[in-house]
Amino acid sequence: MQSTITIVNLLGAVALLLFGLAQVKYGVTRAFGVKLRAVLATGTQSGPRSLLSGFLATIALQSSTATVLTVASFAERDLIRPRMAQVVLLGANIGTAVTAWIFATGVAWLSPMLILTGLIVRKGASSARQGSGTALVGVGLMLLSLHLLSSATEPMRDSPALGAFIGMLDDAWPVALILSAALAFVSSSSLAVVVLILSLASAGVLSTGLIIVLILGANLGGAIPPVVATLSAPASARRITIGNLVVRTVGCAIALPLAGYGALLLQSLPLSQAMLPVDAHLIFNLALATLAWPLSGLISDLMGKLVPDDPQADEGPRFLDADALDTPVVALANATREVLVVGDTIERMLIRAENAFKHNDLGPLAEIIALEKKVDARQQDVKIYLSQLGRKGLDEQDGRRSITIIDYAINLEHIGDIIEKGLAEQIRKKILNGFKFSDQGYEELKTLFDMTIENLRAAQSIFVTGDFDLARRLMEIKIDIRRLEKQSSGRHLERLRDGLMQSLQTSSLHLDMLRDLKRINAHIVSVAHPILDQGGVLGESRLRATDSRA
């Protein structure tokens, strides 16, 4: 009976730890998700910055799995280079190890205060405060679970059955590694398994060598859930998660035969016996990062060969089913899905243009012409499909929706033309002539590029949901874009007057790119017009009302 109670208490403590982890991830994502994604997307220009970005993101999210999946999604959209993505994940591994080390330093007494503070902060009206409060509650629950784990494992110290089982594992390290990896995979958290090992070690039932082996298994198992989650994702995303698994597997394969020597080394160091699991966890990930960082380019190249490119999909429309024309609601939904594909293609074009601009690389521009042709063809297909639907007769509401879909498709097609004939040509001219923007000019254009991509993603959401508040916010951002373009143009002219050579060389390019990005944003914001017009808040003119005597 006592053993059953012990097992229930142990499983309950682990479940509470996993729930706390989920709360932290949800809260941080809700409060700082956009900023975290921006840090990960923009903080990857160099190896050190990439490592730091992965470290900070994992500390915030309390989940290296979340960081891996986010980075994989960035790689899928060419927001991050494969080599830098591998470095980010090395930083994420260190972040998990540091998190475990912090939790093991005896701060469980903070749990009640953190839970209370989190519940108070959650009462705030803003999503940032609510998310922050949820994250604080999650951290408090995680600390509470550590206390419960310690209490649950205390009776195991004198358990003959556990002693016999541990003895078997101590004589079969490969089996112990596989068992620990399986636990990390099932729980989708290497941190949870490390904390469990910490609790068992504090009960004095694990040898130092076995502790190291179990820690290796937790690291290995923690890399498997992202691979499973991206099995159906594009090849560019799968290369990142599989590369992370390969790096950890090779690291464990090297470290496992050396675990006995590692145990002797740890015992010779002035380290606390109770902290050995988290010390070993941190040392392993630091050593892995040190060894794998210089090889990140080779790893990404190897993944490119091991994971072949996705087969080319049919270039025709995906969702425009002619049989659905007899059911207007279904046909309009099909057209909406098809236009979303056009919007995703436009996003790829913008990302490739920005990558070429940031890295002075003509490579990303090569695909823009082909993508623009897809945009032209698909928006034409949508117009023909909806014109066929219109001949069957539509009620007023469906007629308005049909016009909205066509208008958005046309605006996306105009954006594609601007990117291909405007932005891409200007970036190509910059690269071929070796022009270099001033630091301030470069940052202004990069900021406008980032805002444009984020605005397009918001427009895609508005197009589907018709969210009034989001539409209004997008319209307000249009004013910010106009103001930013005006300020950037003014500062550029000031630099010209000051005789700054870089500004003299790139004067027309700078102004042309500003103009084109502003035009693109004007087309993006058009998706909000029918929603705001229907809500009665869209004015017919931007002219200020003037006194009749004027």
Q: What is the pLDDT of residues 105-142, one digit of tens each?
A: 766 677 888 888 888 888 876 667 788 888 888 888 87
Cα–Cα distance measured from residue 231 to residue 175, given in angstroms and rounded to the nearest whole number: 27
Which pLDDT score, from 0 to 100, does residue 412 have?
94
pLDDT at 160: 67
* Residue 481 C-beta-side C-alpha neighbours within 13 Å: 27
For residues 367 and 308, is the Cβ–Cβ distance under 8 A?
Answer: no
d(CA 47, CA 45): 7
Q: Tell me the pTM.
A: 0.64
How far, in Å, CA of 403 to CA of 383, rounded? 10
User: Which pLDDT does position 67 carry in this prediction?
Assistant: 78
**What is the tens place of the pLDDT at every residue in 441-481?**
788 888 888 889 888 988 998 898 888 888 888 888 877 77
Establish how many alpha carbons lie within 13 A of residue 294's alpha carbon, considering only the half-sphere containing its beta carbon: 3
Residue 456: other Cβ atoms inside 10 A:
21
* pLDDT 10s digits, 94-112: 988 888 888 777 666 778 8
**pLDDT for res 85:** 85
Instruction: Determine the pLDDT at residue 549.
Output: 45
Contact between residue 426 and residue 513 where contact means Cβ atoms under 8 Å apart: yes
pLDDT at 204: 72
How many CB atoms are closer than 10 A to CB 438?
19
What residues have CB less than 8 Å from 327, skipping those under 6 apart? none
Per-residue pLDDT tens for 287-306?
999 999 899 889 888 988 88
Helix axes 190-202, 173-187, angle to 10 degrees: 130
Domain definitions of the chain by residue range = 10-306, 322-534
Chain centroid to Cα 198, Å, comes to 30
CATH of region 322-534, choose from 3.40.50.1820, 3.40.630.30, 1.20.58.220, 3.30.365.10? 1.20.58.220
The CA-CA-CA angle for residues 104, 106, 112, to 5°, reads: 110
pLDDT of residue 213: 92
* Residues in the chain where the model's pLDDT stays below 50: 546-550
Question: Can you give the length of the chain in residues?
Answer: 550
